[in-house]
């Protein structure tokens, strides 16, 4: 594969080196990049997350991993990005991890983003639907995150690195899966013989960030895309899912560490293709995008993390039960009873929490003028596109399931349409309007960073 050669990168670095910070200090130092991955041990006795009722896998087709990338540039310090091959993680599990990394690696939690790839083929790490977390696996994961960041930090190369960037597209591995059916319901599972139209957009953007050394060696590759990470090469196996399979294939072909970040995928799924086809298509799209990449100026590393408050929704038990029962009896009659009971059980436990205020985290990061927005949810695609459209940065990308998990966060139109993603349960419990408020706050955070692009101090 051909890439822009190091001579071009050196010219760009020379141009970027002319930048001076607001205090009149010396020129920026080059980027340094450290990477590491840790494999997560699991066994067939562990419940696999992603289904409505508890299930198990038989064997494993590829490692479940934690991948960490640490980026440093003086005088701006370090940023850390971590990707975990699990469904999701709550802040209760992550806060001790942030604390330990802060103590060991000196990487402040506001400058560290921990993300879940949302594979539906790994042991459970949360209470969701009809099962809880696998405690031993959660401990393994916590330890794995700390080890990965510690190693990536220790592996910061003395060799200067250059960021190569391009924005590509892959529009075949997913689609908006909240389909309007002829009877007015919103598709979830079952037959699709009476589809009217999709109810929202699909975001096909595929940004690729490749960090390369002076010898043109690939140090790290980060890519972002927005579809539920469901699909394996070997059905019934534990797996990082098709995005993780593609990432591991790319590592073996290109060298360096490959880190996948899931975008605003709450309303998008693959409905047609096999896991093998999905993995091959996303891998090829990443390679094609990488081939188009060019040196990108990195005149800043910045991050901002803020608390975000929201409320547990108020709900009508009779209306909720009727919606779940109607859909399941009609479209999944053979499994209707256990699914209906799982949702009834979740609502019974959520009922006393109605109206309670809870707090989570929002985070924005800048690598040069490339912005990543970390949200703690399965954000609906329309909301993700709204963030991109309103952002002051041309290149803005959502990272879902970042630093916490508060379930699906739909837009107001989606709430009105109904469907599985807005049925009340552990998977979906925020009140309507939460998504729009979340966007407003993230845009304000991005504007704060845009107003001080040359300042090394960040919070």
Q: How confident is the model at residue 10 (pLDDT cuts 50, 70, 90)?
A: very low
Using DSSP bridges, classify how beta strands 195-198 and 205-213 pair: parallel, antiparallel or unpaired: unpaired
What letter does residue 31 receive in the DSSP assignment?
B
Confidence of residue 457 (pLDDT cuts 50, 70, 90): very low
Looking at the predicted structure, is the pLDDT value of residue 26 above 50? no
Say whether 284 sits in a helix, a strand or coil. helix
Q: What value does the mean pLDDT take over residues 423-437? A: 98
Residues 6+ positions from 426 with CB-CB distance below 8 Å: 126, 127, 128, 129, 346, 350, 407
Q: Taking CA 84 as the corner, what is the angle to CA 216 and CA 56, rounded to the nearest 5 degrees?
A: 135
Q: What are the Cα distances from residue 86, in Å, to 284, 302, 321, 375?
A: 24, 27, 30, 16
Q: What pLDDT does residue 158 have?
A: 81
Angle, vertex CA 267, rays to CA 234 and CA 126, nearest 5: 65
Q: Calculate helix-pair angle for 241-254, 275-292, nearest 10 degrees.
A: 50
Instruction: Give the whole-angstrom CA distance, residue 446 versus residue 205.
Output: 20
Q: Where are the beta strands (DSSP E) in 106-215?
A: 112-116, 161-169, 175-176, 179-181, 195-198, 205-213
Tell me the per-residue pLDDT of 295-312, one tens digit each, with 9 for 90 and over.
Answer: 999 999 999 999 999 999
Mark out the alpha helices in 113-240 (DSSP H runs): 135-154
Compute CA distances 424 → 189, 210, 348, whole Å: 17, 40, 10
CA distance 347 to 415: 17
- Output the average pLDDT for the chain: 93
Q: Where are the alpha helices (DSSP H) in 222-350?
A: 241-254, 275-292, 317-331, 336-350
- In the chain, pLDDT over 70 holds for what percent of residues? 93
Give tens-digit pLDDT for 90-126.
999 999 999 999 998 889 999 999 999 999 999 999 9
């Amino acid at each position: 594969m051909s890439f822009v050669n190091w001579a071009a990168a050196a010219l760009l670095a020379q141009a970027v080196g002319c930048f001076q910070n607001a205090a009149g200090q010396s020129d920026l130092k080059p980027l340094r990049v450290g990477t590491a991955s840790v494999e997560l041990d699991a066994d067939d006795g562990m419940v696999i997350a992603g289904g409505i009722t508890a299930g198990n896998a038989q064997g494993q087709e590829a490692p479940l991993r934690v991948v960490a990338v640490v980026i440093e540039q003086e005088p701006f310090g370090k940023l850390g990005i971590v990707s975990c091959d699990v469904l999701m993680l709550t802040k209760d599990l992550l806060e001790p991890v942030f604390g330990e990394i802060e103590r060991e690696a000196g990487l402040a939690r506001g400058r560290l983003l921990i993300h879940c790839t949302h594979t539906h083929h790994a042991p459970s790490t949360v209470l969701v639907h009809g099962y809880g977390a696998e405690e031993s696996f959660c401990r393994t994961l916590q330890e794995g995150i700390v080890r990965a960041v510690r190693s990536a930090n220790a592996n910061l190369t003395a060799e200067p690195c250059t960021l190569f960037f391009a924005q590509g597209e892959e529009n075949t591995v997913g689609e908006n899966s909240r389909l309007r059916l002829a009877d007015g319901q919103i598709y979830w599972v079952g037959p699709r013989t009476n589809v009217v139209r999709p109810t929202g957009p699909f975001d096909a953007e595929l940004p690729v960030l490749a960090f390369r050394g002076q010898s043109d060696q690939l140090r790290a590759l980060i890519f972002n895309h927005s579809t539920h990470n469901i699909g394996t090469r070997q059905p019934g196996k534990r797996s990082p899912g098709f995005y993780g399979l593609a990432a591991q294939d790319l590592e073996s072909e290109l060298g360096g560490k490959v880190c996948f970040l899931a975008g605003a995928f709450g309303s998008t799924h693959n409905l047609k293709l096999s896991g093998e086809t999905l993995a091959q298509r996303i891998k090829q799209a990443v390679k094609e995008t990488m081939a188009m990449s060019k040196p990108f100026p990195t005149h800043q590393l910045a991050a901002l993390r803020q608390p975000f408050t929201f409320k547990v929704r108020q709900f009508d038990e009779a209306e909720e039960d009727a919606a779940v029962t109607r859909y399941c009896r009609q479209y999944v009659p053979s499994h209707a009873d256990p699914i209906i009971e799982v949702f009834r059980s979740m609502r019974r436990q959520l009922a006393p929490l109605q109206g309670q205020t809870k707090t989570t985290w929002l985070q924005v990061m800048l690598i040069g003028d490339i912005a990543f927005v970390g949200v703690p949810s399965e954000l609906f695609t329309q909301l993700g596109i709204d963030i991109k459209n309103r952002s002051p940065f041309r290149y803005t990308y959502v990272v879902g399931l970042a630093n916490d998990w508060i379930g699906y966060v739909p837009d107001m139109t989606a709430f009105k349409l109904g469907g599985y993603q807005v049925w009340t349960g552990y998977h979906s419990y925020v009140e309507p309007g939460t998504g729009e408020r979340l966007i407003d706050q993230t845009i304000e955070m991005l504007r704060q960073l845009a107003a001080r692009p040359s300042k090394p101090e960040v919070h």
